[in-house]
């Protein structure tokens, strides 16, 4: 069977959920028995998002092979079984960089290098490459085009996918267009003009959408669908309501209820191999019917923009799914804890999580959060930066090393507990120079980490430029903190834990990147379990008058 292609475009405004729509289509196609591969085309000039501010772009999602990519790839991996790679995310910067490098080598034999055909051919080659990037040819490749129709930046990508359909045959590629159909409260009407104008923009550049996904807050009435079908020249059955939902994991089922998977299969000339969505349906039922809740305090640097912690957010939810509870997040700006008020601001949480980050701002608050968890007995989970400040906090407050610090903050620190990766000394370029991707870690037998994973060998994804200075390992051990995860060569410390604490685990890697709703990451599942046990313990003690009930 020839590989089929689905191109997902967006119109009117950004942030409508093209990534979730693409991931949901992939989820439904897998439910019908097809192997999918997924790809995101970003129109910005950065080579990748690795050097972009989390406030502008959200989190940087890291793949197994060490690519710094768009956060939508996280949705792809969470909703489907596909494993993304460097091939799964291209940008204008990456494409132009490749074409310019070929021109400098003389690959174009003196020809004038132009957007058409050279840039568009490079884009098309990248799309073909992702079809086979998993080692086995995908049945269907889903390609999301970033930005909105009408943006000058995305025109080369749209022209490339227009040509691509001609190249592979019209029966082997379809276009799905997502745009806004807003409800105007004062007029008590849904307005179809934004979608109509968006489709007109697409058709003006030669792309005729096969399916319309109408992002709205209510189901579209048949007469609205008929109007859109008439003016946008698509079948009525291909006008799909993409309704707002309480949980993103409900999106595939809502779209399936609208008949999206059926029309996609029909347009691509595919037969269902037997629809299997029972596990997903059970998941959504569990999400909607939690048996309790747990409050997690997240002490970070970018808490005003939650997309900065997208995978972390979802992994926490997955931990809740595994324990049949709803996770309530209390976002705490780390700078706010630097005034010595950690006991007050974190008193009502059931567990404390310190996620990744870079730079000097707010690091004192992360140290304070780690120390509060030590003193209070509340479960503590440190990830990447949270690992580095946990070991620093322990060195200062338990081992008595008042001058302990990271050289990222103070290059002249008396005790360099955390310092720049020795392999990066002298490397000043920011992009792609960190320790990136999946690496093996060996766990100490009998450690909490080994018990949680049920294994002594794990592979996790990394993104960091600084490391723990193992010269201080003996000092930490004397204070009660143990390094229980190391690389096979013993070079890097990967996990630190405190055996006498109810739950105190810090990891140098990013476990959130490998968590899925149907298979929650074991660290997040056990952290939520421990936080729930802490909550229940506090409540039980309060009922006997031992302690006051903590406010949450």
Q: Write the burial class of residue 321 (CB in 10 Å: 0-12 exposed, 13-18 middle, 19+ buried).
A: buried
CA distances from 57 to 22, 305, 330 (A): 19, 10, 22
Residue showing tokens 């939902």: 245
CA distances from 549 to 36, 350, 528 (A): 49, 12, 19
C-alpha to C-alpha distance for 291 and 241, rounded to whole angstroms: 31
Q: Which residues are catalytic?
A: 384, 510, 512
Residue showing tokens 């501010």: 53
CA distances from 66 to 85, 126, 274, 468 (A): 8, 18, 35, 21
Residue showing tokens 């942030």: 15
Residues in CB range of 46: below 8 A, 6 or more apart: 52, 91, 93
Other residues' Cβ atoms within 10 Å of the Cβ of residue 453: 20
Exposure on the CB side of residue 109, measured as CA atoms within 13 A: 0
Residues in CB range of 87: below 8 A, 6 or more apart: 39, 126, 129, 130, 133
Element (H, E) at 381: strand 380-383
C-alpha to C-alpha distance for 75 and 58, rounded to whole angstroms: 13
Q: Strands 380-383 and 404-406: what pairing?
A: unpaired
3-state SS of the chain: helix, strand, coil percent to 5? 45, 20, 35
């Amino acid at each position: 069977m020839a590989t089929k292609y689905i191109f997902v475009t967006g119109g009117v405004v950004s942030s409508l959920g093209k990534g979730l729509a693409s991931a949901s289509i992939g989820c439904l196609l897998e439910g019908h028995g097809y192997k999918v591969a997924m790809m995101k085309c970003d129109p910005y000039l950065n080579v990748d998002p690795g050097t972009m501010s989390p406030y502008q772009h959200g989190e940087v999602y890291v793949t197994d092979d060490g690519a710094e990519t768009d956060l939508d790839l996280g949705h792809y991996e969470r909703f489907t079984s596909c494993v993304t790679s460097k091939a799964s995310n291209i940008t204008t910067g990456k494409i132009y960089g490749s074409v310019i490098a070929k021109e400098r080598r003389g690959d174009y034999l003196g020809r004038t290098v132009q957007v058409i055909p050279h840039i568009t051919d490079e884009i098309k080659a990248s799309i073909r490459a992702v079809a086979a990037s998993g080692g086995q040819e995908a049945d269907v490749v889903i390609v999301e085009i970033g930005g909105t129709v009408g943006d000058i930046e995305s025109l080369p990508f749209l022209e490339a996918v227009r040509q691509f359909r001609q190249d592979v045959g019209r029966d082997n590629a379809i276009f799905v267009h997502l745009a806004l159909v807003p409800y105007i409260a004062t007029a008590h009407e849904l307005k179809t003009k934004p979608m109509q104008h968006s489709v007109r923009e697409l058709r003006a550049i030669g792309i005729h959408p096969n399916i319309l996904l109408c992002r709205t807050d209510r189901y579209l009435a048949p007469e609205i669908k008929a109007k859109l079908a008439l003016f946008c020249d698509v079948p009525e059955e291909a006008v799909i309501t993409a309704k707002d939902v309480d949980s993103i994991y409900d999106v595939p089922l809502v779209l399936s209820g609208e008949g999206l998977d059926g029309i996609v299969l029909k347009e691509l000339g595919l037969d269902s191999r037997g629809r299997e969505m029972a596990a997903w349906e059970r998941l959504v039922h569990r999400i909607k019917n939690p048996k309790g809740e747990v409050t997690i305090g997240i002490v970070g640097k970018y808490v005003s923009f939650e997309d900065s912690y997208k995978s972390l957010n979802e992994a926490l939810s997955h931990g809740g799914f595994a324990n049949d509870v709803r996770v309530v997040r209390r976002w705490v700006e780390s700078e706010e804890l630097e005034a010595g008020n950690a006991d007050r601001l974190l008193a009502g949480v059931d567990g404390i999580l310190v996620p990744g980050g870079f730079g000097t701002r707010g690091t004192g608050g992360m140290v304070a959060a780690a120390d509060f968890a030590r003193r209070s007995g509340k479960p503590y989970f440190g990830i990447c930066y949270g690992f580095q400040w946990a070991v620093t906090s322990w060195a200062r407050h338990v081992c008595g090393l008042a001058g302990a610090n990271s050289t990222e903050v103070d290059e002249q620190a008396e005790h360099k507990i955390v310092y720049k990766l020795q392999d990066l000394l002298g490397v000043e370029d920011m992009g792609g120079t960190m320790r990136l991707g999946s690496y093996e870690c060996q766990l100490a037998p009998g450690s909490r980490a080994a018990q949680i994973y049920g294994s002594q060998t794990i592979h996790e994804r990394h993104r960091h430029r600084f490391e723990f200075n193992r010269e201080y390992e003996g000092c930490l051990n004397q204070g009660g903190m143990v390094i229980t995860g190391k690389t096979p060569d013993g070079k890097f410390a990967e996990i630190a834990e405190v055996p006498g604490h109810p739950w105190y685990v810090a990891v140098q890697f990013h476990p959130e990147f490998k968590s899925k709703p149907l298979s929650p990451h074991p660290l997040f599942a056990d952290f939520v379990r421990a936080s729930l046990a802490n909550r229940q313990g506090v409540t039980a003690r309060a009922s006997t008058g031992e302690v006051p009930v903590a406010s949450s």
